[in-house]
Amino acid sequence: MHLILFLVFAGFCLVGAINLLLQSHPINSALSLIVVMVSLAVLYLLLGAEFLAAAQVIVYAGAIMVLFTFVIMLLNASREERTLGSRAALRVGFPSVVAILAIIATVILHTQGLGVARLSDGITSTEELSAVLFTKLLLPFEVTSVLILIAILGAVALAGHDARDPQGIRERTGGK
């Protein structure tokens, strides 16, 4: 059962990720990414991380990707243009990716003592997680909250219209 679920959702993951690359319209890519994320949530469940599975769906699929689609809609992003870009970089980049993948795969396949995952394995409950998070790691947690607050402010400052220029006149006229 575990094997089947793993194969199915790993397949979903891979298909979604590849589809993300193949699709030329950003919204399709975004939907592919959502598929990847939801499938990953299932994989997390299989690995016994149920809280993370829910958080994955809520945070990634439900918040971050909504933001992405929102921006895609807002900017009315269309199919990407066939620009040339940097061929040389691609010549460097693809071998590098292949090298990275090869190295990591080699290392993983040569690592001894990696265990196995079963359905009957213990599940990390939300209590255990929060017990550590809110005692030992309280400070990082709080710092993260501050980080998010700052990010919100930054996002508002960056994307929001200038308060003195609500109609965006200055932007359109090049600041004059």
Partner 1 sequence: MTIVQFILWSVLKVAVVTVVMLLAVAYTVLLERKLVGRIQNRWGPSRVGPFGLLQPLVDGAKSFLKEDIIPTGVYRPLYLIAPILALGCALISIGVVPFGVPVSVAGSPPLFQIANVNIGLLVILAVTSIGVYGIALAGWSSNSKYSLLGALRSSAQLVSYELALGLSLVGVVLRAGSLNLRVIVEQQATQGMLSWNVFGGMQFVAFFIYLMAAYAETNRSPFDLPEAESELTGGYHTEYSSMKFAMFFMAEYANMITVGCVATLLFFGGWTSPFGDLIPPFENVFFDAGLSLFWFVLKVFSFLFLYVWVRGTLPRFRYDQLMNFGWRWLMPLAILNIVATSLWLAYR
Partner 2 sequence: MNAFFSQEVPLSWYLLLSAVLFSLGVVGFLIKRNLITIFMSIELMLNGVNLSFVTFAHQWHAVKGQIFVFFVMMVAAAEAAVGLAIIIAVFRARATLAVDRIDRMKL
Partner 3 sequence: MNAPLHLWLIPLLPFAGFLINGILGRRLPKWIVTTVALLAPLAALGLVLNAAQGFFGIGATVSSLPYIETCPLPWINAGLLHIDFSFVLDQLSLVMLLVVTGVGFLIHVYSVGYMSDDEGYARYFSYLNLFLFFMTVLVLAGNALVMFIGWEGVGLASYLLIGFWFQKKSAADAGMKAFIVNRIGDFGFLIAMFLLVANFGTLTFTEIATKLGQDPGWNGGVVTVIALCLMMGAAGKSAQLPLYIWLPDAMEGPTPVSALIHAATMVTAGVYMVARTHVLFDHSPFALSVVAIVGAATAIFAATIALVQNDIKRVLAYSTISQLGYMFLGCGVAAYSAAIFHLMTHAFFKALLFLAAGSVIHAIGGEQDLRKMGGLWKKLPVTFAVTTVGVLAIAGIPPFAGFFSKDAILYAAFLQGTNGKILYSVGLLTALLTAFYMFRLWYMTFLGEPRSPQSHSHESPWSMRGPLLILAALSICGGWIWLFGFGEFLAPVLGARVTEASSWRLLVPYTQYSLSLETVLSIVAVLVALEGWLIADKFYRRKPARPAQWATAMPAGYKLLANKYFVDEFYGATVVKPLLGFSKVFLEWVVDVGILGGATWLLGGIATFAGAILQRWQSGNLRSYAAWLAAGAAALLLFLLVPWTTVLATLPAIHLGLAGH
Nearer to partner 1, 68 or 102 (CB): 68
User: With the CA atoms of 68, 71, 31 and 63 taken in that order, what torsion angle do they form, in degrees rounded to the nearest 10?
Assistant: 40
Is residue 2 near partner 2 by the rule CB under 8 A? Answer: yes
CB 20 within 8 A of CB 33: yes
Nearer to partner 1, 15 or 123 (CB): 123
Question: Containing H/E element for 80?
Answer: none
The entry of partner 2, partner 1, partner 3, none that residue 99 binds, CB within 5 to 8 Å by partner kind: partner 3
Q: Count of CB atoms within 10 A of residue 127's CB?
A: 9
User: How far is 58 from 97, CA to CA, in rounded Å?
Assistant: 31
The entry of partner 2, partner 1, partner 3, none that residue 137 binds, CB within 5 to 8 Å by partner kind: partner 2
Binding site for partner 3 (CB under 8 A): 85-86, 88-90, 92-93, 95-97, 99-100, 103-104, 107
The entry of partner 2, partner 3, partner 1, none that residue 8 binds, CB within 5 to 8 Å by partner kind: none
CB 20 within 8 A of CB 29: yes
